[in-house]
Structure 1
Amino acid sequence: MVRFGIIGTNWITERFLQAGRTVEGFEAAAVCSRALERAEAYAAQHGVPHRFASVEDMAASGTVDAVYIASPNALHAEQAIRCLDLGLHVLCEKPLASNEFEAAAMIEAAKRNGALLMEAMKTTFLPNFEAIRDNLHRVGKVRRVNASYNQYSSRYDAYRAGTVLNAFDPTLSNGALMDLGVYCIYPIVRMFGAPKSVKANGVMLESGVDGAGSLLLQYEGMEAVVAYSKITHSTVPCEIQGEDGNLVFDKMSEPETVEWRNRRGEAETLTRPQSEHTMRYEIEAFMELVRRGATESPVNSHEVSLATIRIMDEARRQMGLVYPADRNRP
């Protein structure tokens, strides 16, 4: 049994709970919120037995082994470091932090305390992502990756009407790159490592965050083209192009269909069975690491998290996208 404390009360924590309850040994033990009334209401709604107004009280209670952090991006580092220093393992929603400085401090806290810190990027644990990686050799020498995640945000309607919700608030380290672009960048880094160079463009909104953007990641002999948006929508598939064939899949964040194609027009379906509760695979992996006493995931490693946040830091620098959290960097 791994007992989880939940930090954050929103739609993604509901998905987490739904997925976790399909995993043997998962227990939702506590909810933590600075507003105790909110924690109590959320815990009662979802059948979670314990509620706390502080991480310190939750850790001291002895009711949890690990925490799942799904608070706004700007709070990830502070909350994760406090949890790690209190001896709790941490599964932290993507992006891991606001910037590289914060991410490095989180990783240092994990090492200092011998605790597990893993970024909750579900994509890299999905059976269909594994299908892509397992068949990568079939395309021959990779020359280009086309990765996109363009999903019109329901919160953008409110923005257009004059109300800036969390998704478009720079004080929370939000915006399209952090919310959607990361789903393209992280899997690319997992497959191909850190790029040699980054070129970025962004469509900036008046609130101070990006509504859409694109990145060109340059590798030795290949490039990765990333397009993301919260202000437009697209159903264009993603593709890995090689000299001997292509891998085509429907979505970068959550591939549901995967196909291999060659230049002669021949195609083969590579799609694997995959749970509708797509977060369950990262939860299973995290729980197994906790049981083994591991302090780092070999899949969602600290190295992958740092390489990803460095790319996003550089992209933001080129776009002129600055967060209040950046002021804490040396």
Structure 2
Amino acid sequence: MKLGIVGAGMIVKDFLSISHLLKDIELEAICGTPRSEDTLNELKDKYGIKKVFCDYDELLNSDLDIIYIGVPNNLHFEFAKKALDADKNVIVEKPFTSTYKESLILSDLARKKKLFLFEAITNQYFPNYKKIKELLPTLGNIKIVQCNYSQYSSRYDSFKEGKVLPAFDPKFSGGALMDLNIYNIHYVVGLFGKPENVEYYPNIERGIDTSGVLILDYGKFKCVCVGAKDCKAPIANNIQGDKGCIYQDTPANVCKRFELLMNDGTSSEVNENNYEHRMVNEFIEFSDAVKNNDLERCYKMLDHSLIVSEVQTIARHKGGIIFPVDDFTETES
């Protein structure tokens, strides 16, 4: 599978560091802005990428099977749509898009053209996460779910000094919900589906959420998701049922070992992840789906991404966080 990469930032470098483990993926090309050309060429030489482009249209006109989009959040929709319009399969980094409406447009276009469209969201593909899903019935009736991903950002120091970087800029679709809490939303929605109601209580500075508490109401149980970039706390995911709980002390984006703690006093530790790096499993599954022309698997994950996109859009609007691309004709509940 011939892969074209868009971007030269941290997430792209992270992906390239594990690309040698992806036997079905050929690093055909990388594309960025003219000002990043030196970095692009360094990455080309380091990882054996065949071609460098500084023009996205030229990249799309080349012989590629799939495009991996690792650009700032606010550009995900524009770059993904352009790739789909050019009949290219697409992997787009999380968060899928800035708004639910954008997600629907991409989803409809991919299905119409019978193209693959994936959101690169790590936790859905970990063996540990799949094991948690398998063990849920042993917990009895779920009562409370808690996910806390609080990680103090060095960029917050700059933000307090008046320097606004993309991670804290509404123009770039930044903020704690889009950066950290989005992993919690994926984690919960992947296990329990679409919530009945969404509420978001953010700490807002200069129009962006530096941290916030997301409440997902599932009727018979409640879920609290905390995402913070302006403070830190022990990271934990807890799924509490009336027969026992699952406790995990790693972030939702890496989903490492977890404990199964039962009310009868028995406990066990589980760790079935087979790769140390968080990005390997997702890209293996992406390439396997494309290789086997498994659109059904792709579109099932796309349906999941749509629910997450709808949840984050509703949450932002209820919390008063508005992006330039927001369209208030979108349906909210």
Place the TM-score, normalised by the shorter chain, in its bin: over 0.9
Rounded to whole Å, the distance in 2 between the matches of 1:328 and 1:82 is 24
Distance change (3 Å), C-alpha of 1:279 and 1:232: same
Residue of structure 1 in register with 2:309 after alignment: 309
Match of 1:59 in 2: 60
Q: Is the 8 A contact 2:149 2:236 kept in 1?
A: no
- Aligned partner of residue 295 in structure 2, secondary structure: coil
Amino acid in structure 2 at the alignment position of 1:263: N
- Matched with 1:159 is 159
> Any conservation in 2 of the 1:125–1:281 contact (CA below 8 Å)?
yes
Q: Hey, what's the Cα distance between the residues in 1 that align with 2:179 and 2:8?
A: 17
- 1:281 aligns with 281
Q: Distance in 2 between matches of 1:65 and 1:209?
A: 37
Instruction: Determine the C-alpha separation between the residues in 2 that align with 1:205 and 1:128.
Output: 36
- Whole-Å separation in 2 of the counterparts to 1:103 and 1:328: 15
Work out the CA distance in 2 between the residues paired with 1:262 and 1:78: 48
1:243 partner letter? D
Identify unmatched segments of 5+ residues in structure 2.
Answer: none
**SS of equivalent residue, structure 2 residue 145:** strand
Question: What residue identity is the alignment partner of 1:117?
Answer: L
Residue 11 of structure 1 and its aligned partner are, at CA, apart by 1.0
Q: TM-score scaled by structure 1? A: 0.94
Give the 5 Å matches for 1:209-220: 209-220=208-219
Describe the SS at the equivalent of 1:226.
strand
**2:192 pairs with 1:182:** no
Cα displacement string for residues 253-300 of structure 1 (whole angstroms, at most 9, x for unaligned residues): 212111111123321112224311221100010001111223353586
Q: Does the aligned pair in 1 maintain the 2:60–2:88 contact within 8 Å?
A: yes
Separation of aligned partners in 2, 1:225 and 1:326: 25
Q: CA deviation at 1:144?
A: 1.2
1:101 touches 1:329 (CA, 8 Å); kept in 2? no
Q: Which AA in structure 2 matches 1:159?
A: F
- Does the Cα contact within 8 Å between 1:145 and 1:223 map onto a contact in 2? yes
**Which residue does 1:101 correspond to in 2?**
101
Deviations 1:150-185 (A, max 9, x none): 111121122122211111111111111000011000
> How far is the alpha carbon of 1:240 from its aligned partner?
0.4
Q: Secondary structure at the match of 1:256?
A: coil
Q: Deviations over 1:222-255 (max 9, x none)?
A: 1111111011112142110011100111122212
Q: Give the letter aligned to residue 224 of structure 2.
A: V
Task: Look up the SS of the partner of 1:57 in the other structure.
Answer: helix
Structure 1: gaps of 5 or more residues: none
Secondary structure of the residue that 1:323 maps to in structure 2? coil
What residue is the counterpart of 2:234 in the other structure? 235
Aligned amino acid, residue 124 of structure 2:
T
**Does the 8 A contact of 1:19 with 1:278 survive in 2?**
no
**Distance change >3 Å, CA 84–CA 210, structure 1 → 2:** same
Any idea what SS the aligned residue of 1:297 has? helix
**1:14-33 to 2 correspondences below 5 Å:** 14-33=13-32
- Report the CA distance shift for 1:29/1:88 in structure 2 as closer, same or farther (over 3 A): same
Alignment TM-score, normalising by the size of structure 2: 0.93
Count, aligned residues = 327
What residue number does 1:48 align with? 49
Counterparts of 2:56 and 2:108 in 1: how far apart (Å)? 19
